[in-house]
Structure 1
């Protein structure tokens, strides 16, 4: 069948989005999703999302990783689908939608290109040696490093994601370095499901901001700017020393192009 798709990006994290409110796509197999996300043989993207109807919500977000498997929560994907919902006229400036990790609230600018997305609360951060491990809707490994601009993120991230501890379920690997002479951090991420470095990772930069607050013993209302390969994001949250709440991931979300493509369903 012929479907209309939309390509969005949020700080370089790019996605294929499809309006499935009419439920025409009753199922998408792994190979179809992987082909649509392929940068040589398909549209190209770090993931694919379906926007669907859901009782009690403005919409439901169904997320697939680029490898074709249904994924856990994607922060930048969540921001992009909010922008998509505004483009479709489903929402105006605020929304409540359902994702795989539960209910999310978000606000979007009048221009439709800046989204503030509430993330799930976090009350557990574990250690793996010097690294921090936590779940912000997806599991993340956060490690401070140096000379991050020249780090071999693919090979170093691949090794951690596939070690004995994480190989079975996978984990997203974030390397972080304080920005010199500025507030905030520079982050590069190896993402499971993409199995490569991406230009940004929303749940990843959220995990970094929380882990660094714990690492630096910061408490109260915190706002943490993050630089990624694809641009700039901001995470604001409250931390009382035990629990992180009122967590918001903020940044750009923009329509790149739209088109039609044939898929086998």
Structure 2
């Protein structure tokens, strides 16, 4: 059974996209996802994306990190799927409906409304999420926000100086975060510019994280550090984030198709 796929990326955050809208796929197990995502013996990616039919949307998008776990949202994958669809579209995700549309700068995605309540992140116990009274080594007083998936954001003088590959896993797996957490370290350049690096739960260091850019922008806006429209510079490139008066976040940026191919399902089952 040969399965077609599209290899795509958003600012270097790369995906294997499997289209199961017309022809259903066998269930994806965590070992199958890990095998497909393996960069030495598989196709290689940060996330495997499966498109399924949905009665109320152009498709349902399911997102699997390279460790095999399914997650709720992925901003870069949303742009990639929006590019594949090629027209304004509604996409159902595990965190709810999102809307995409072609834009002069790539694909614009309505990411919905952020959540700040401690039990919406979720945290293991109640606390203020604007400046959480705790820290890990030099990283202190993060802001927590859920933008379809959970993030903590640390504001630092120089985010390149943080050993994120070492401290990121500690924070991701801390008992405070029952569903684990994405870890963002950000430096404010000016009122409209942020530099960001992200440790993504289940994937590790990533060149770009769309939901991380959204979470970081909103966290900085809540703290009064930036205006309501910002450019977030990630290692893979920039994303433009706005947080409107209607409380909805819009993310705009590029998506790229790398190549297409097929694989034998039995090789990865």
TM-score band, normalised by shorter chain: 0.7 to 0.9
Q: Distance in 1 between matches of 2:240 and 2:253?
A: 6
Conserved? CA contact 1:32–1:263, under 8 Å: no
Q: Secondary structure at the match of 1:64?
A: strand
Alignment correspondent of 1:187:
196
The TM-score with structure 1 as length reference comes to 0.88
Q: CA deviation at 1:29?
A: 1.0
Alignment correspondent of 1:250:
252
Q: Secondary structure at the match of 2:35?
A: helix
Q: Secondary structure at the match of 1:128?
A: coil
Alignment correspondent of 1:89:
none
Alignment correspondent of 2:181:
171
Q: CA deviation at 1:137?
A: 0.4
Q: Could you tell me which runs of 5 or more consecutive residues in structure 2 were left unpaired when the two chains were aligned.
A: 118-128, 134-140
**From 89, 101, 108, the counterpart of 2:102:** 108
Q: CA deviation at 1:145?
A: 1.2
Q: CA deviation at 1:13?
A: 0.9
Q: Distance in 1 between matches of 2:33 and 2:226?
A: 41
1:207 lines up with 2:215 in the alignment: yes
- C-alpha deviations, 1:183-225, integer Å up to 9, x for none? 310000001111x110111111100000000111667xx2110
Alignment correspondent of 2:122:
none
Q: Distance in 2 between matches of 1:197 and 1:97?
A: 26
Q: Distance in 1 between matches of 2:208 and 2:27?
A: 28
Worse-superposed segment, 138-147 or 149-158: 149-158
Q: Distance in 2 between matches of 1:197 and 1:259?
A: 26
Conserved? CA contact 2:192–2:226, under 8 Å: no
Q: Could you tell me which runs of 5 or more consecutive residues in structure 1 were left unpaired when the two chains were aligned.
A: 87-91
1:124 lines up with 2:135 in the alignment: no
Q: Distance in 2 between matches of 1:123 and 1:70?
A: 20
- C-alpha deviations, 1:140-172, integer Å up to 9, x for none? 000011222232111121121122312x42100
Conserved? CA contact 2:151–2:183, under 8 Å: yes
Alignment correspondent of 1:40:
40
Conserved? CA contact 2:185–2:196, under 8 Å: yes
Q: CA deviation at 1:44?
A: 1.0
- C-alpha deviations, 1:103-122, integer Å up to 9, x for none? 11111148xx8110001212
**From 157, 167, 180, the counterpart of 2:168:** 157
1:96 lines up with 2:90 in the alignment: yes
Q: CA deviation at 1:95?
A: 0.7
1:147 lines up with 2:145 in the alignment: no
Considering only aligned residues, what root-mean-square deviation do their CA atoms show, in Å? 1.9
Question: CA 1:245 to 1:28, structure 2 compared with 1: closer, same or farther past 3 Å?
Answer: same
Conserved? CA contact 2:191–2:225, under 8 Å: no
1:238 lines up with 2:244 in the alignment: yes
Q: Distance in 2 between matches of 1:64 and 1:163?
A: 21
Give aligned pairs, total. Answer: 248
Q: Distance in 2 between matches of 1:30 and 1:259?
A: 22
Where has structure 1 moved over 6 Å in runs of 4 or more? none
- C-alpha deviations, 1:65-96, integer Å up to 9, x for none? 1111211211111111111222xxxxx2x111
